[in-house]
Every structure is written in C-alpha cells, then in structure tokens.
Structure 1
Amino acid sequence: MLDDIDRRLLTALQKNAHLTAQELGEQLNLSPSQAGRRRQRLEAEGYIRGYHARLDPVQMGLNVQGFIQVHLGTHGPEHSASFARLMATRPEIVSAWTMTGDADYLLRVYCDDLPSLNRLIHDVLLPHQAVSRVHSQIVMDQLKQDGPLPT
C-alpha cells in the first residue's frame, strides 16, 4: 500500500529522477535517510522500474513521429511470437500494444523522415506473413508530452 508520502515521493521523482535523498527529504519533510529508505523500498517493490533520460527526438534527427495500426490476417501463437520478435528488432518502434477492436497492434514509431517511415511500413511490416494491412497516422504536433503517471 502506498501512503501519502510515498505518492508525493513518486510524484517528485517523476518530475526529476536526479533528486538526492537530501532533496527528497526536504520536499517530503523527512530526514535524508528516511527518504532514501522509502525510495529503496519503492524500487524493491517494483513501483519504480528504472530511471531514464528523456531525449529530444528532433535533436536526435527523428523528425517524424507516427502511430501504426497493424491488422493481422492470420492469428495464432506462432504468428504473434514472430511479429513480437520483429518489433523487438526495430529501434524505430518505441512502443507497441496489443489492442481490442479493429487493429491487433498499435505501434508508436519515430523515423528520420517520411521515406524512412515508408520503408518501415512497406519493407518491414507489410512483408511479415501474418500482417494483412496497416494504417498509419503521422503526428503533426504533440499537444501534451508524455507525462507522469497519476499518483
């Protein structure tokens, strides 16, 4: 169970994962050792899965963000596993979800440019034996950045 202090600690770390135990303690009105122990407990219990640097895609030359719905024509464990292996090999695919509804998968991708997105779709995804069709959407502007989870 999370108490109010745990929730405030998680909120603070989502805003700045570099906070020291001293800084966390000051924000939470705890001693640095208490704040550090709480952080360690939340890590050990799996509430905190890791710490990551958030890179700017445009600075990295990734000028096209898109979402691709993938529809399978053939279903079965071997096709799902094969498609999952394909997704794992492609760095452009930064997130993938299995979905209810019309599409079987939703992929979030970052590509250098439109030709790169086209190659991903036509040379990688569509040739897969289980894929029957894809539907892509290009992000024009991201109105809200990926934010912290509600605590």
Structure 2
Amino acid sequence: MSTQLDALDRALLTCLQRNSRLTSAELAEQVHLSPSQCARRRQRLEEEGYITGYNAIVDAAKIGATVEAFVQVTMAAHSRENAQDFIRLAERTPAVVSVWTLTGEADYMLRVFCADLVALNDLVQQVLLPHDAVARVQSQIVMERLKDNAPIAV
C-alpha cells in the first residue's frame, strides 16, 4: 500500500535522482531532517516502489560502444505471438538497452549501443529485419546528448 508523498518525500526523491549514493547524513543536510528520518523515509520509498533501483551509469564510448541509436520497428502483423517473439529477440540482443512500445506509425522504439556503424548495420540487417515479425526498421543515430537521464519532476 502506497502512501501519499509529502514535500519531504519529494525532496528526497529529487536529491536521490541526482545522486543515489548520498548517505542519510548528506540527505539530512539537504532536506533538513535527521539522518535517521531520512533513512526511514528512503526505506519506505523503496518498499512502496517509488524507488525501483540504483544503477551505475557507464560511459558507453569508454567500453567501446561508440554509436548510440534509436531504432523504430514496425511489425509485419499484430499478434500476441509476434509481440512475444520480438520482445524475446530484443531481450537476448545485448546491443539493445531499452525497448518501448509506441503509438503512431512504429510499434517499438529501441535504444541501442553498438561498437561502430558496421555493428549497427549488422544489428539492423542481420538481427532485426530477418525476424518474421518485423516489417520495417528505421534508425536514427545520436549525434550528441544534450540532456540525458534528467531527474523526473516530483
């Protein structure tokens, strides 16, 4: 059962989105609560599902994934089986880091990281297009990230 968020909960969520490694003492300084109150509130926010996890953000280029792209996929036919098959394909493809379903012309949007343009081409030509459920693929290569993973306004 979720409780209503008050102003302090919202302040904690804002701070933690900027830096999830803040200690209770550091949070306490920023939101003007005691460290123990911050720890209890953080734990409650985790238990109630407001905070769903903590991640390290890896510099893709430093590990050799120099091409980031968004790939729109349009399905050949809309069936539960096609959708499940495509999702399984996306889940087992390491270059695909995010998948969204969409309204509009495309059915899915994939965020992918590849070593280079050859690897992106291989992903599109050898993995996505040959899949029976896929009718069309359109990719856009990211030139520069201007605003990336900004905190959600709470």
Q: TM-score, normalised by structure 2?
A: 0.95
Distance in 2, matches of 1:127 and 1:75, equals: 17
1:96 aligns with 2:138: no
Distance in 2, matches of 1:129 and 1:120, equals: 15
1:121 aligns with 2:140: no
CA RMSD of aligned residues (A): 0.8
Distance in 1, matches of 2:38 and 2:121, equals: 49
Which consecutive unaligned segments of at least 5 residues does structure 2 have? none
Distance in 2, matches of 1:143 and 1:14, equals: 18
- Deviation, 1:146, is 1.7
Runs of 4+ in 1 over 4 A off after TM superposition: none
Partner of 2:135, secondary structure, is: strand
* Percent of aligned positions that are identical: 54
1:58-69 correspondence to structure 2 within 5 Å? 58-69=61-72
Q: Give the AA of the match of 1:52.
A: N
Distance in 2, matches of 1:29 and 1:69, equals: 45
Distance in 2, matches of 1:114 and 1:10, equals: 38
- Deviation, 1:25, is 1.2
Provide Cα deviations, 1:90-139, integer angstroms capped at 9, x if missing partner.
11111111111100111111100000000100110001101011011111
The residue that corresponds to 1:87 in the other structure is 90
Which consecutive unaligned segments of at least 5 residues does structure 1 have? none
Q: TM-score, normalised by structure 1?
A: 0.97
Number of residues of Structure 1 aligned to a counterpart in Structure 2: 151
The residue that corresponds to 2:18 in the other structure is 15
